[in-house]
Chains A and B, each alone.
Chain A
Amino acid sequence: MSLVINHLTGGYGAMPVIKNLDFSAPDGEVTALIGLNGAGKSTTIKHIIGLLKPMSGAITIGDKTLADDPDAYRQAIAYVPETPVLYPELTLKEHLELTMMAYQLDQDQTWPKVNAMLETFRLANKLDWFPDNFSKGMKQKVMIVCAFMTDAKLFLIDEPFTGLDPLGVHDLLALVEEKRAAGAAILMSTHILNTAEEVADQFVLLKDGGVRATGDLTSLQRQFNLPAGRLDDIYLAMTKEAAHE
């Protein structure tokens, strides 16, 4: 089990945004993190990558916590953020090179892989440009290439389908498929339910900073009493619950 979250409570200030969160992302599977705006998806991801410190609870990746062994913990994660922010002074080529250096990847072995990805995302002719000036979608592609060149055990992808063009989404899903087949765990937060339903093996439904339900589609259909319901229907049922309370 690559990612295990145990009773995680945390947030930005004194007020916790996520409360007593419990779920895991198994190896070789795609886990979709689903919830309304403000349900705590991005906050959860920020806790996993260590930008926020948990108030209580623990996050382990491959049996290691950030406090025990920060380098091994970070080495195991690759992350594609929702809002891409790149180094303003580095060219595309230098971003890729720096990533290889930081993750101690063999440059001769990695470059062919990277070149193939650049070709796919139509970035190959922009190696000497500053990606800071790219459009949002292109920046996201740069971050995807940086993330997917690593041998991380856990891939965190925050809202990947909003800035990318349809071709980009398709190419990203192909990369995700490749990593899943190789045995990595993938955690993806999204609002785009149709795509999530197609790609994900299991779902984690967040509501008000807690886990409302987890499981694959059949299990969710049972839990919400919606046999043959689509993920859309289940999602709506969950939001209505919130309205009743």
Chain B
Amino acid sequence: MNKLWKTRLARHSKEQFKYLQLVFNDHFVLALIILLGALLYGYSQLIHDLTPQWWFTPALAAVLALVVGLGDLATLAEGADATFLLPRTSDFAGYLFRARRYSALLPLATLLLATLAAWPLLGVLHHGDWLSLGLILLALWLFKDVDLWLQLLGNYTLHLPIWLSRAALILVAWAGLMAGIWIHPVITTAVALACDLLLRWRIGDWFQPAQLDWQLLIKRESARMGRIYRFYNLFTDVPGIGGGVHRRKYLDVFTKLVPKRYASSWAYLYVRGFLRRTEFFGLFLRLAVIGAAILAFVQQWWLAGLFALLFVYLVGFQLLPFYLAYDEIVFTHLYPLSLKQKKSSFGRLVLVLLLLMAVILAVGAALSGAWLKVGVVLAAGVALAVVFALWYLPLRLAKLDAR
């Protein structure tokens, strides 16, 4: 079982690494750094002007308690396991224990970051010293340990008392954190330690008669992997996850804009593909709504300009894989159409979409009535749209064609 876990983990890590490389490509990292910088700046401004309110403690405790709930047990179980490993069900617990230890890594790091992020707020609430910070982090880690045990037990058919659920744990963590922040963080640590010790003391008794529910285990793991792949699919092509197609007849007004001539054959295809594929159309809508909302709230004109650049860039970048969407279809190679027509049609579609995005962002900015901001957003968005579609895009498409 140890060997099985090791080979599974190696294969899993290799695959995740491959996808993460695609997700965090150089451009996206750059965009991310800008966004992170802007967020940190906003956060520091917020902290600066902050005066403590009564609801800070419960709110902060709730956020931290919810972060404890993040991070699922990664069992890496596969559909065939229910058949092939059935005779070794009792040994499989050892495999699951290793899986639980591995699953703890990412959440522990997340909790560390969450604690660091909460540091300034804890300072406002008079617990900004190292000791308090360490005690709270330790408590959060202990809570996560309990949470992962509960998730592991959840794959077994056994009758646990009602208070032994993840929801109950989050509530206890919330209460513990509130008490800790009001009085002293050592209370939180004590509560967490008590939970963990209690669980580890009794777990042998619960485990003894338990039966592994293979179907549930596999269903949970495939749902978890599905969520991860859907996320990757936002950035790159994941086999088997393409999103669907909807007819969207009400959008035919736009498809009619493309004339039915030889020269616009590729445009005919790309426009319909964009409007009817859930993937790219949904992405455009999501980014448009989020971007417009953010720009309605951002106050500084220069920050608004940066966000406009970021969102136009993100849309343009996410549209790139659409260029290759039809390469698997034999017609694409059969039709007497030139590569030049394909490129220019795609380029025009991207240009129109990015200009549209710039206008939507400007409308979002206009909601706040700050006209300087609207002007900056529109100018930045339009400028980047033009540069992206006319200069950057042809370079990228040449790279894609060369593959």
CA A72 – CA B336 in complex, angstroms?
7
Chain B positions within 8 Å of A, measured between CB atoms, are 245, 247, 260-262, 264-265, 268-269, 272-273, 276-277, 326, 328-331, 333-338
Chain A positions within 8 Å of B, measured between CB atoms, are 49-51, 70-75, 77, 79, 81, 85-91, 94, 97-104, 107, 130, 132, 146
CA A102 – CA B264 in complex, angstroms?
9
Tell me which of A74, A79, A88, A98 contacts B336 (CB under 8 A): A74
| B336 / chain A contacts, CB cutoff of 8 Å | 70-75, 102-103
CA A223 – CA B166 in complex, angstroms?
79
CA A181 – CA B73 in complex, angstroms?
68
- 23 A–B contacts, CB within 8 A, in A order: A49-B330, A49-B334, A51-B330, A70-B338, A72-B336, A74-B334, A74-B335, A79-B330, A79-B334, A85-B328, A85-B330, A87-B326, A88-B277, A89-B245, A90-B269, A97-B260, A98-B268, A101-B264, A101-B268, A102-B265, A103-B336, A132-B245, A146-B331
Tell me which of B262, B277, B328, B333 contacts A89 (CB under 8 A): B277
A86 B329 Cβ-Cβ under 8 A: yes
Given A85-B330, A87-B331, decide whether A101 and B272 contact each other with a Cβ distance below 8 A. Answer: no
Q: How far is the CB of A129 from chain B (nearest CB, A)?
A: 9
CA A231 – CA B265 in complex, angstroms?
44
Tell me which of A85, A103, A104, A107 contacts B329 (CB under 8 A): A85
Which residue of B has the minimal Cβ distance to A49? B334
CA A51 – CA B264 in complex, angstroms?
23
Q: How far is the CB of B88 from chain A (nearest CB, A)?
A: 39
| A88 / chain B contacts, CB cutoff of 8 Å | 245, 277
* The 3 A-B residue pairs with the shortest CB-CB distance in the complex, in nearest-first order: A74-B336, A102-B335, A89-B276
| B265 / chain A contacts, CB cutoff of 8 Å | 98, 101-102
| A75 / chain B contacts, CB cutoff of 8 Å | 336
| A99 / chain B contacts, CB cutoff of 8 Å | 331, 335
| A90 / chain B contacts, CB cutoff of 8 Å | 269, 272
| A101 / chain B contacts, CB cutoff of 8 Å | 260-262, 264-265, 268
Which residue of A has the minimal Cβ distance to B270? A89
Tell me which of A72, A77, A98, A132 contacts B269 (CB under 8 A): A98
CA A128 – CA B337 in complex, angstroms?
25
Tell me which of B262, B264, B276, B333 contacts A50 (CB under 8 A): B333
| B260 / chain A contacts, CB cutoff of 8 Å | 97, 100-101, 107
| B328 / chain A contacts, CB cutoff of 8 Å | 85
CA A77 – CA B330 in complex, angstroms?
13
CA A85 – CA B336 in complex, angstroms?
18
